[in-house]
Structure 1
Amino acid sequence: MSSHETSRAADSLLARTVATAAARRLLEVREANANLDGRALKDLGDTEAQKLIAGMLAEHVPDDAVLSEEAADSEARLRSSRVWIIDPLDGTREFSEGRADWAVHVALVIDGDLAVGAVALGGPEVVLVSEDVTTHAPAHEGPIRIAVSRTRPPVLVEHVADALDAELVPMGSAGVKISSVVSGASDAYIHGGGQYEWDSAAPIAVARAAGLHTSRLDGSTLVYNQPNPYLPDLVVCRPELKDRVMAAVSAALADQPE
């Protein structure tokens, strides 16, 4: 194994370990604080997962930069060759409601490239890691299934679904939706309502490793560790559906009012 491969394997193991530990901690927090209302439980989950992840990264890779939803940003990350992008708890609503469709995101960008991603889905038992994923689930019979927010589905996606005669499949966090395309629970995920880099970095790393199409709504590449981490839209879909999905997205965008 080359030194590059050894380093990538070590980074992947760390991402898996951190995501797993944070997901386990989140379950402990939820079980121990069942009396808290939704807002308080969301905040406590975010705080505890952030504390654990920050501590583990500081211990194992102290020289690396970190971009997290739950910590102050620093321009120093723009000068670092290694930047961890994390979402300690993606899907706080689902977490606070006792559901399983939340996730922990741990990604690593090396010299501007999205190199590693680990996504813990609803706990420590199921953790998808880009290093270990080699393909996506096989195609299924029936209409295209589009993963969509269970609480606020974008109008854009409804237009795309109509054009494709597709089914909308409601589910929780962005990480869960992207992972559902990898696992075969859906065929596409289209988002246009506003996100940040931490919402998608880790699951996009997994989706790319699985051979899925990933892009912005306009077809451009999703780029991470930018000065402004706002990354509001994306498309993830099975590769054989790319042309149909992107054509429907383009048509829907053209129909939107200025």
Structure 2
Amino acid sequence: MASFDTELDTARRIARQAGDILLKIYATDFSVQDKAGGMGPVTEADERANEFIVGELRKAFPSDGVVAEESDNSADGKRFERCWYVDPLDGTQEFVNRNGEFAIHVGLAVAGKPAVGVVYRPVGNKLYTGVVGQGAFLEDDGGRRALRVSDVAEPSELRLVVSRSHRSKLTDAVAKRLGITRERESGSVGLKCGLLAEATADVYIHTSGKSYRWDNCAPEAVLRAAGGILTDLGGTPYSYDGAELQNHRGLLACNAAAFSRVQPVVAEFARESGIVR
């Protein structure tokens, strides 16, 4: 099995340096634009961090593809066996709202499957890392520790993590059916998956079809490395082969113990609402 030590060390360094770029802009009176096509807000921070991360990855791994949110992504994923998926600022709305819950995602997919993931939250200095099949870790001011998802299997005992800025009726319906009463809010997709990897939450459901592979490649690698599962709402894993970048069928992240009981309920509601056909 490939060790991916060089890839992980490089991604960690790049994410931390990109975090410094974000924090410098975060401390200023930055301006916010709306992306074309109703894709949400974008700031100078997204664009500068994107340029830095892509440039560093191309220098370090010139034979790999790079797909990044603020770049032209039409070709790279299809052409390369190894492709990096980058979200330079996941949680731009959280950045704009200044609540600290935004993250940098740097993920490597090999043959269409997530292999290496780094999710870095600059505010609070939390760095999640994972190599699928080799373990996940959290590095913060308290040191470095191994991560493992919870083993809670009973649906009514699960802790649901929900989006701070996008409340979903479908998520509420699923929670009611499963008897889930405990929930917490978080921003970035990566930070939500990080909470699952830390075993401080157990399930996350993203019901919109408007997320993209750069939103979930790094988080999925961290979560799978910690023993968790990430699929679409129908229970099918996403492929990172570049053929499709949009996650039309939403996201379901769960610990492994409860997945087989949660997923059919999620799929049923997703079919009823037309997200999954």
Please report the TM-score for the alignment, with normalisation by the length of structure 2.
Answer: 0.83
Query: Cα RMSD (Å) of the superposition?
Result: 2.3
Q: Which runs of 5+ in 2 are unaligned?
A: 35-40, 137-145
The answer to whether residue 191 in structure 2 is matched with residue 172 in structure 1 is no
Report the counterpart of residue 148 of structure 2 in structure 1. Answer: 136
Deviation at residue 137 of structure 1 after TM alignment: 4.5
Deviation at residue 154 of structure 1 after TM alignment: 2.0
Q: Work out whether residues 149 and 255 of structure 2, in 8 Å CA contact, stay in contact via their aligned partners in 1.
A: no
SS at match of 1:185: coil
Report the counterpart of residue 206 of structure 2 in structure 1. Answer: 191
Deviation at residue 214 of structure 1 after TM alignment: 1.9
Deviation at residue 73 of structure 1 after TM alignment: 1.4
Q: Distance in 1 between matches of 2:233 and 2:58?
A: 35
Instruction: Assess, with a 3 A threshold, how the Cα gap between structure 1 residues 168 and 38 changes in structure 2: closer, same or farther.
Output: farther
Deviations 1:171-197 (A, max 9, x none): 211111111111123110111202110
1:100-115 → structure 2 map (5 Å cutoff): 100-115=100-115
SS at match of 1:52: helix
Deviation at residue 39 of structure 1 after TM alignment: 4.1
Q: Distance in 2 between matches of 1:153 and 1:193?
A: 10
Please report the TM-score for the alignment, with normalisation by the length of structure 1.
Answer: 0.89
Deviation at residue 209 of structure 1 after TM alignment: 0.4
Report the counterpart of residue 238 of structure 1 in structure 2. Answer: 255
Q: Work out whether residues 65 and 79 of structure 2, in 8 Å CA contact, stay in contact via their aligned partners in 1.
A: no
Q: Distance in 2 between matches of 1:30 and 1:253?
A: 37
Report the counterpart of residue 15 of structure 1 in structure 2. Answer: 11
Deviation at residue 38 of structure 1 after TM alignment: 4.4
Instruction: Assess, with a 3 A threshold, how the Cα gap between structure 1 residues 82 and 252 changes in structure 2: closer, same or farther.
Output: same
Deviation at residue 60 of structure 1 after TM alignment: 1.2
Give the alignment partner of residue 155 of structure 1, picking from 163, 169, 188.
169
Q: Work out whether residues 77 and 240 of structure 2, in 8 Å CA contact, stay in contact via their aligned partners in 1.
A: no
Q: Which runs of 5+ in 1 are unaligned?
A: none
Q: Distance in 1 between matches of 2:242 and 2:77?
A: 9
Instruction: Assess, with a 3 A threshold, how the Cα gap between structure 1 residues 74 and 124 changes in structure 2: closer, same or farther.
Output: farther
The answer to whether residue 75 in structure 2 is matched with residue 75 in structure 1 is yes
Q: Distance in 2 between matches of 1:122 and 1:241?
A: 31
Instruction: Assess, with a 3 A threshold, how the Cα gap between structure 1 residues 79 and 96 changes in structure 2: closer, same or farther.
Output: same
The one-letter code matched in structure 1 to 2:252 is V
Q: Distance in 1 between matches of 2:259 and 2:19?
A: 32
Q: Distance in 1 between matches of 2:242 and 2:42?
A: 27
What is the total number of aligned residue pairs between the two structures?
A: 252
The one-letter code matched in structure 2 to 1:36 is F
Q: Distance in 1 between matches of 2:112 and 2:67?
A: 13
Report the counterpart of residue 232 of structure 2 in structure 1. Answer: 216
**Bigger mean CA deviation after superposition, 135-144 or 168-177:** 135-144
Q: Distance in 1 between matches of 2:271 and 2:245?
A: 26
Deviation at residue 126 of structure 1 after TM alignment: 1.3
Deviation at residue 76 of structure 1 after TM alignment: 4.2
1:78-89 → structure 2 map (5 Å cutoff): 78-89=78-89
The one-letter code matched in structure 1 to 2:221 is A
Q: Work out whether residues 216 and 222 of structure 1, in 8 Å CA contact, stay in contact via their aligned partners in 2.
A: yes
